[in-house]
């Protein structure tokens, strides 16, 4: 125990210690934290569906009909008609033949990378991919080659120079979770064609957010689904529920059903979660106005921060990083935002590379113009107080 305490003390000194904060309200545009109402600026509830009345009603109805739990793994007793309906809806959203639901997006990435490639194969992975992709690569028996972030010349060089006796798989986040930038998917798909590779995209932050009907990164770029062999997503962000999924060809999904250990050996998702996700997909496909509002707010916040003197990397996603570098400075910034009535999180190593600690501001379609003004004012006050802007 002393060893653990020493390690925790070191983390505290370096500004890398984490603690849990609890909310006493839904994760909507305003949340109750420690008795205060704060503007939520750190949630992945991009479309504001978590506290949508229709989602709540769908979950309640599902409990009334099916009860609270699935009570078994999918291949034993855990598959309800809701699982199959949700999988059809996800396949439609992603324009694929089929889809398969997992208990989390994290497990979907582990499943794909540990089960679809093996010892003869090579995974080419962007250096800023999400931790669940990195962990999937670690669990996989394939070799892993990491290419520089979104650097297509480096990817091409590595595809060219790496001897491969089996398959090549290029894996990337669609929208990078901590930077909000998009993968250069058209170039990746072209490189994949040139080198006979398959592409896997983790669209955790793009599903529901990008594309005319919320289909994600491939949809946004107009890339046909057949060119992206494996589309991973989560039900826990814009979809406002919980769980993950993989969409792709029928044969891919059949293979995962038979061979993906995170799918086979875990109890299925519960009915209320599935029913809420199903309702969310209908809303995503029919209420484009939510996406438009989200993108308008994102542009407004980016413009507002830049006009106050912040350096904000360009991007389209509702994830706006304010990079401060030092973790202790980032924590101070975060506390000042909270003093200004805004809840945001300090993102530090190992979530992002050392020296790139940041405040990750995220928006939701249900933020009001007043919420947005409050976020900008709080950033300005914190930035000036700490000498980040003049
Ligand atoms: C890019 C990315 N992939 C996967 C995940 C994991 O998804 P889940 O929270 O559903 O496990 C996350 C975040 O949680 C993520 O940001």
Using CA positions, which residue lies closest to atom 12 of ligand 1?
A: 204
pLDDT band at 59 (very low <50, low <70, confident <90, very high): very high
pLDDT band at 24 (very low <50, low <70, confident <90, very high): very high
The residue from 222, 252, 286 where one domain ends is: 286
User: 165-182 pLDDT, tens per residue?
Assistant: 999 999 999 999 999 999
Region 65-81 average pLDDT = 96
Same domain, 115 and 239: yes
Same domain, 41 and 69: no
Question: Is residue 118 pLDDT above 90, yes or no?
Answer: yes
Same domain, 167 and 30: no
Question: Is residue 225 pLDDT above 90, yes or no?
Answer: yes
The fraction of the chain above a pLDDT of 70, given in percent, is: 100
Pocket test for ligand 1, best of 177, 209, 238 (most atoms within 8 A of CB): 177
Region 224-234 average pLDDT = 97
* CB distance 199 to 189 below 8 Å: yes
* CB distance 140 to 360 below 8 Å: no
Is the Cβ atom of 298 under 6 angstroms away from ligand 1?
A: no
**What does the mean pLDDT of the chain come to?**
97
Is the Cβ atom of 270 under 6 angstroms away from ligand 1?
A: no
Same domain, 81 and 123: yes
The fraction of the chain above a pLDDT of 90, given in percent, is: 99
Q: Is residue 4 part of a domain?
A: no
Q: Is residue 227 part of a domain?
A: yes
pLDDT band at 384 (very low <50, low <70, confident <90, very high): very high
Same domain, 68 and 145: yes
Contacts of 66 (CB under 8 A, 6+ apart): 80, 82, 271
User: 246-264 pLDDT, tens per residue?
Assistant: 999 999 999 999 999 999 9
Same domain, 278 and 307: no
Q: Quick one: pLDDT at residue 314? A: 86
Q: Quick one: pLDDT at residue 36? A: 95
Q: Quick one: pLDDT at residue 150? A: 97
Domain encompassing residue 132: 53-286
Same domain, 243 and 220: yes
d(CA 272, CA 115): 29
Is the Cβ atom of 46 under 6 angstroms away from ligand 1?
A: no
Q: Is residue 94 part of a domain?
A: yes
Is the Cβ atom of 236 under 6 angstroms away from ligand 1?
A: yes
Question: Is residue 147 pLDDT above 90, yes or no?
Answer: yes
pLDDT band at 13 (very low <50, low <70, confident <90, very high): very high
The residue from 262, 286, 310 where one domain ends is: 286
pLDDT band at 380 (very low <50, low <70, confident <90, very high): very high
> Which residue, among 104, 155, 99, has the nearest Cα to 130 in the 3D structure?
104
Is the Cβ atom of 208 under 6 angstroms away from ligand 1?
A: no
- Quote the ligand 1 centre to 389 CA distance (angstroms): 32
The residue from 286, 306, 340 where one domain ends is: 286
Q: What is the CATH number of the domain that holds 328?
A: 3.90.1150.10
Radius of gyration of the chain (CA): 21
Pocket test for ligand 1, best of 46, 112, 127, 132 (most atoms within 8 A of CB): 132
Question: Is residue 350 pLDDT above 90, yes or no?
Answer: yes
Using CA positions, which residue lies closest to atom 9 of ligand 1?
A: 105
Q: Identify the burial level of 206 via C-beta atoms within 10 angstroms of its C-beta, where 0-12 means exposed, 13-18 middle and 19 or more buried.
A: buried
- Quote the ligand 1 centre to 23 CA distance (angstroms): 20
Q: Quick one: pLDDT at residue 53? A: 97
Q: Does residue 318 sit in helix, strand or coil?
A: coil
Region 2-30 average pLDDT = 95
Q: What's CA 31's distance to the chain center, in Å?
A: 21
Pick left, alpha or beta for residue 184 (phi over 0 → left; psi -120 to 50 → alpha; otherwise beta).
beta
d(CA 205, CA 216): 8
d(CA 74, CA 211): 31
Same domain, 378 and 266: no
Q: Quick one: pLDDT at residue 282? A: 97
Contacts of 180 (CB under 8 A, 6+ apart): 205, 313, 315, 316, 317, 318, 319, 320, 321
Is the Cβ atom of 202 under 6 angstroms away from ligand 1?
A: yes
- Quote the ligand 1 centre to 176 CA distance (angstroms): 11
Same domain, 140 and 78: yes
Same domain, 267 and 303: no
- Quote the ligand 1 centre to 324 CA distance (angstroms): 24
The residues annotated with a catalytic role in the active site are: 177, 205, 237
- Quote the ligand 1 centre to 204 CA distance (angstroms): 6
Same domain, 134 and 262: yes
């Amino acid at each position: 125990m002393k060893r653990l305490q020493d390690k925790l003390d070191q983390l505290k000194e370096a500004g890398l210690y984490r603690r849990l904060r609890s909310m006493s309200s839904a994760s909507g545009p305003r949340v109750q934290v420690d008795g205060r109402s704060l503007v939520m600026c750190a949630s992945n509830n991009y479309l504001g569906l978590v506290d949508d009345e229709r989602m709540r009603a769908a979950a309640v109805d599902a409990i009334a009909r099916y009860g609270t739990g699935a009570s078994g793994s999918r291949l034993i007793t855990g598959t309800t008609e809701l699982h199959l309906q949700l999988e059809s809806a996800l396949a439609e959203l992603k324009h694929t033949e089929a889809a398969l639901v997992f208990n989390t997006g994290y497990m979907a990435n582990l499943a794909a990378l540990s089960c679809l490639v093996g010892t003869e194969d090579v995974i080419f992975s962007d250096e800023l991919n999400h931790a669940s992709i990195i962990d999937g690569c670690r669990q996989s028996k394939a070799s892993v080659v990491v290419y520089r972030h979104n650097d297509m010349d480096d990817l091409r060089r590595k595809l060219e120079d790496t001897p491969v006796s089996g398959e090549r798989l290029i894996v990337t986040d669609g929208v990078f979770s901590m930077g909000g930038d998009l993968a250069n998917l058209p170039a990746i798909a072209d490189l994949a064609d040139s080198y006979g590779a398959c592409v896997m995209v983790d669209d955790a932050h793009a599903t529901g957010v990008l594309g005319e009907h919320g289909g994600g990164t491939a949809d946004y770029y107009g890339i046909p689904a057949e060119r992206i062999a494996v589309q991973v997503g989560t039900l826990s962000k814009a979809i406002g529920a919980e769980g993950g999924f993989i969409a792709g060809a029928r044969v891919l999904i059949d293979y995962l059903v038979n061979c993906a250990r995170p799918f086979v050996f875990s109890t299925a998702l519960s009915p209320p979660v599935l029913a809420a996700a199903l309702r969310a997909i209908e809303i995503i496909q029919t209420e484009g106005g939510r996406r438009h509002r989200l993108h308008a707010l994102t542009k407004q916040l980016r413009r507002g921060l830049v006009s106050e003197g912040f350096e904000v990397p360009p991007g389209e996603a509702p994830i706006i990083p304010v990079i401060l570098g030092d973790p202790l400075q980032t924590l101070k910034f975060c506390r000042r935002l909270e003093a200004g009535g805004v809840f945001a999180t300090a993102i530090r190593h190992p979530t992002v590379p050392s020296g790139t600690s940041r405040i990750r501001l995220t928006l939701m379609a249900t933020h009001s113009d007043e919420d947005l003004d409050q976020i900008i004012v709080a950033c300005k006050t914190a930035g000036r107080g700490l000498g980040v802007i003049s």
